[in-house]
Amino acid sequence: MLTHTKVLWTAAKEATSVACSVEASCSGTELRVTEGTIVTRRERYADRSTAYERARTLREDYGKAGFAIYPTV
């Protein structure tokens, strides 16, 4: 099975670093949020557009929580 992983944005606040990525495959799209090396959120979606919308919502939430957001797309 072919997969493609793309980091959408990263964020930082004090000593905490966060990255949001999507992995697309034939069976759907997985959104992941990692803090350091730990995956803190893993969500599966049927299509990429829904996963990207969720990533935008999470980016706004982290921004409101005081994280500096760095887009990578």
Contacts of 36 (CB under 8 A, 6+ apart): 16, 17
Q: What angle do CA 21, 26, 28 make, to 5 degrees?
A: 50
Whole-model pTM? 0.88
| Strand 28-35 relative to strand 38-45, pairing | antiparallel
Structure tokens at 30: 């997985």
Rounded CA Rg of the chain: 12
Per-domain boundaries in the chain: 3-71
Q: What angle do CA 21, 22, 23 make, to 5 degrees?
A: 130
Tens of pLDDT, residues 4-35: 789 999 999 999 999 999 998 888 899 999 99
State the pLDDT confidence band at 1, using cuts at 50, 70 and 90: low
Q: What percent of the chain has pLDDT over 90?
A: 79
β-partners of residue 30 are 23, 44
